[in-house]
């Protein structure tokens, strides 16, 4: 983690105290009925951030108050929120239940094999990865297909650095990712589970090589919490959250488009690409708007989750209604 | 004691039906509504509504099949509390979630099948809630019953609303449980099914009574007693 200067990392007391600060603010703002009720809902409703200074640097940054913000000026969610509100179906379908069930997950030692159509297949220890590749902070928005979103300060390294080391062969067109299969650690992987475990995901090679595609090893300057997919997960910020596979044990370069778990379960709802796209409705959740965790009401969902400028080129000429 | 026997069920219904709301209010102050409180409120109010509406469907069969007359006295309360949670559910959706943005709400209602089903159920329940008073009962006479039979449509729509919004029914069987209960409770209203099950229920009742009170069984089959004399407590009744 050499690359991050300590000044760039929000001290823990700052983001912990933010919660208290907002709560006090909510009480002070007793004018609206709901806020006057106090409590959590009051906090949520009062939690909408003050409009950010219009001149934000082009990239994510930490502001003068020590609050991390994305490039639009929206504040990052707290470490507590990010690590205790998770979709991690290997444990449970209950978002709040994940952190508890994941508390004893054994994330180390951990090995990741990188193989398939590569000239230099390798197996890495998680420590190798942390040492070998500079760890940098990236403040990304995560948009869940269920219609909620967060801003998350990930720590990690771009996947293209790893792929460069294993040297994909010319015939490699896709990257296939596989999560841990371990019913002893994952209660929901019990023998009669109806999910086609292990969790699998895939990217087209050019998507995988994009600089935004991050191999994540940490969060808020700390090692990745178990509930967020320790010790190694993916973050593909312009795609729905489920593409960002957790607890990766295998990365394979393939010539064929790999199967993915959600696409296998419900192909009419979850396509291979799963780019955030407000124009393509989902049968259950609004994709036109989203609820930012910590805010009341909804905000419009941005094409490619706000990363269009950087990734739209990957899909030039493609029909994104058909290739959803 | 006799007051409790007469009113215990009603008391339990009032307490039980208001409890989820109490817990929600408490949890709001204890910061216990998850990181996504609006979602949590939607789920909790929706489930409370569904449970109460299904329970209101259970009252009639409890009387006709099991002879439990008291159930009829809580039917209206269950239905109205169910409607209260439906209204809260909708208020969370429209006010907290969508900030009363009517255009966005309208778009969502027509776009998502599950919202269409839920909204229809809500529309059906409005006249039922309005005409739940004795005054309306008298005014509508026979038509009151036909009107209130619309609940046979509203509850399945509400179950469908739930079933359509879970990711996968095989991994989340809750809507199936509500669905099975609803189908069973509606089937028990079909006269053939009702009569057959009432017959079974009374037989089962007899069987259990005799099974748990061996003295009665002996009395019922006196030949089983080799002495030929009925046992003493069979004479003095059900000791």
Tens-place pLDDT, residues A86-139: 999 999 988 999 999 999 999 999 999 999 999 999 999 999 999 999 999 999
CB pairs under 8 A between A and B: 82
CA distance A162 to chain B (A): 34
CA distances (Å), A190 to each of A33, A107, A197, in order? 47, 20, 10
Q: Who among B28, B98, B172 is closest to A39 (CB)?
A: B28
Enumerate the residues of chain A whose CB falls inside 8 A of the CB of residue B117.
Answer: none
CA–CA separation, A81 and A102 (whole Å) = 15
CA distance A79 to chain B (A): 12
Q: Who among A85, A286, A296 is closest to B96 (CB)?
A: A296
Decide if A266 contacts B168 (C-beta within 8 A). yes
Q: Which residues are CB-contacts of A205 (< 8 A; sequence separation ≥ 6)? A: A168, A172, A173, A174, A175, A253
CA distance B159 to chain A (A): 15
CA–CA separation, A144 and A141 (whole Å) = 10
B96/A41 CB distance under 8 A: yes
CA distances (Å), B178 to each of A36, B47, B54, in order? 37, 10, 8
Q: Who among A40, A148, A193 is closest to B33 (CB)?
A: A40
What's the mean per-residue pLDDT of chain A?
87
A40/B29 CB distance under 8 A: yes
CA distances (Å), B39 to each of A49, A77, A200, B46, in order? 20, 17, 28, 11
Nearest in space to A75 (alpha carbons), one of A34, A136, A35, A21: A21
CB distance from B104 to chain A under 8 Å? Answer: yes
**Cis bond leading into A95, ω under 30°?**
no
Q: Is the pLDDT of residue B112 over 80?
A: yes
Continuous segment of H or E residues that includes residue B183: helix B174-187
A33 or A295, which is more confident? A295
CA–CA separation, A207 and A93 (whole Å) = 28
Q: Which residues are CB-contacts of B175 (< 8 A; sequence separation ≥ 6)? A: B159, B162, B163, B166, B169
Q: pTM to 2 decimals?
A: 0.79
B171/A286 CB distance under 8 A: no
Q: Is the pLDDT of residue A247 over 50?
A: yes
Q: Is the pLDDT of residue A145 over 50?
A: yes
Enumerate the residues of chain A whose CB falls inside 8 A of the CB of residue B31.
Answer: 39-40, 43
Q: Who among B107, B113, B171 is closest to A283 (CB)?
A: B113
Q: What is the pLDDT of residue A104?
A: 95
Confidence band of B167 (pLDDT split at 50, 70, 90): confident
Nearest in space to A68 (alpha carbons), one of A156, A150, A158, A159: A150
Rounded to the nearest 10 degrees, how much is the dihedral formed by the CA atoms of A242, A157, A7, A225? Answer: 40
For an interface test with A, the pick among B38, B109, B176 (most A C-beta atoms closer than 10 Å) comes out as B38
Lowest mean pLDDT, pick from A39-43, A259-263, B37-41: A39-43
CA–CA separation, B209 and B206 (whole Å) = 5
Mean pLDDT value of segment B25-54: 94
């Amino acid at each position: 983690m050499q690359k991050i200067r300590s000044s760039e990392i929000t001290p823990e007391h700052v983001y912990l105290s933010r919660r208290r600060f907002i709560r006090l603010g909510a009480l002070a703002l007793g004018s609206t009925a709901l806020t006057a009720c106090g409590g959590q809902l009051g906090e949520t409703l009062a939690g909408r951030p003050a409009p950010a200074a219009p001149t934000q640097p082009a990239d994510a940054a930490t502001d003068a108050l020590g609050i991390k913000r994305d490039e639009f000026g929206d504040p990052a969610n707290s470490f507590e929120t990010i690590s205790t509100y998770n979709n991690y179906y290997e444990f449970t379908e209950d978002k709040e239940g994940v952190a508890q069930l994941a508390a004893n997950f054994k994330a180390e030692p951990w090995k990741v094999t990188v193989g398939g159509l590569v000239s230099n297949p390798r197996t890495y220890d998680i420590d190798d990865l942390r040492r070998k590749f500079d760890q940098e902070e990236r403040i990304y928005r995560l948009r869940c297909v269920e219609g909620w979103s967060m801003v998350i300060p990930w720590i990690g390294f771009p996947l293209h650095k790893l792929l460069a080391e294993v040297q994909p062969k010319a015939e490699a067109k896709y990257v296939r990712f596989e999560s841990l299969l371990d019913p002893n650690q994952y209660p929901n992987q019990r023998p009669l589970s109806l999910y086609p475990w292990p969790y699998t995901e895939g990217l087209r090679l050019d998507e995988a090589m994009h600089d935004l595609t991050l191999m994540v090893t940490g969060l808020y300057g700390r090692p990745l919490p178990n509930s967020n997919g320790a010790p190694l997960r993916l973050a593909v910020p312009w795609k729905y959250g489920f593409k960002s596979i957790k607890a990766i044990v295998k990365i394979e370069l393939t010539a064929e488009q790999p199967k993915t778990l959600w696409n296998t379960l419900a192909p009419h709802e979850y396509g291979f690409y799963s780019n955030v796209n407000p124009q393509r409705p989902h049968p259950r959740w609004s994709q036109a708007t989203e609820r930012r965790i910590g805010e009341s009401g909804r905000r419009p969902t941005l094409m490619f989750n706000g990363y269009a400028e950087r990734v739209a080129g990957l899909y030039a000429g493609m029909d994104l209604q058909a290739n959803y | 004691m006799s007051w409790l026997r007469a009113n215990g069920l009603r008391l339990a219904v009032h307490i039980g039906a208001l409890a989820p709301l109490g817990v929600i209010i408490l949890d709001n102050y204890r910061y216990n509504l998850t990181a996504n409180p609006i979602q949590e409120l939607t789920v909790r109010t929706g489930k409370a509504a569904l449970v109460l509406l299904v329970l209101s469907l259970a009252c009639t069969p409890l009387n006709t099949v099991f002879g439990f007359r008291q159930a009829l006295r809580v039917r209206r309360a269950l239905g109205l509390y169910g409607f209260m949670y439906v209204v809260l559910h909708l208020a969370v959706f429209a006010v907290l979630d969508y900030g009363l943005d009517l255009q966005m709400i309208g778009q969502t209602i027509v776009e998502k099948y599950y919202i269409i089903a839920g909204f229809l159920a809500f529309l059906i329940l409005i006249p039922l809630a309005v005409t739940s008073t004795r005054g309306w009962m008298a005014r509508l006479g026979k038509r009151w019953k036909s009107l209130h039979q619309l609940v046979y449509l509203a509850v399945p729509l509400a179950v469908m609303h739930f079933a359509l919004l879970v990711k996968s029914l095989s991994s989340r069987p809750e809507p199936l449980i509500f669905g099975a209960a609803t189908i069973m409770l509606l089937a028990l209203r079909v006269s053939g099914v009702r009569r057959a099950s009432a017959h079974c229920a009374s037989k089962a009742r007899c069987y259990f009574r005799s099974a748990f009170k061996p003295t009665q069984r002996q009395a019922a089959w006196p030949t089983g007693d080799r002495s030929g004399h009925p046992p003493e407590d069979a004479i003095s009744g059900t000791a």
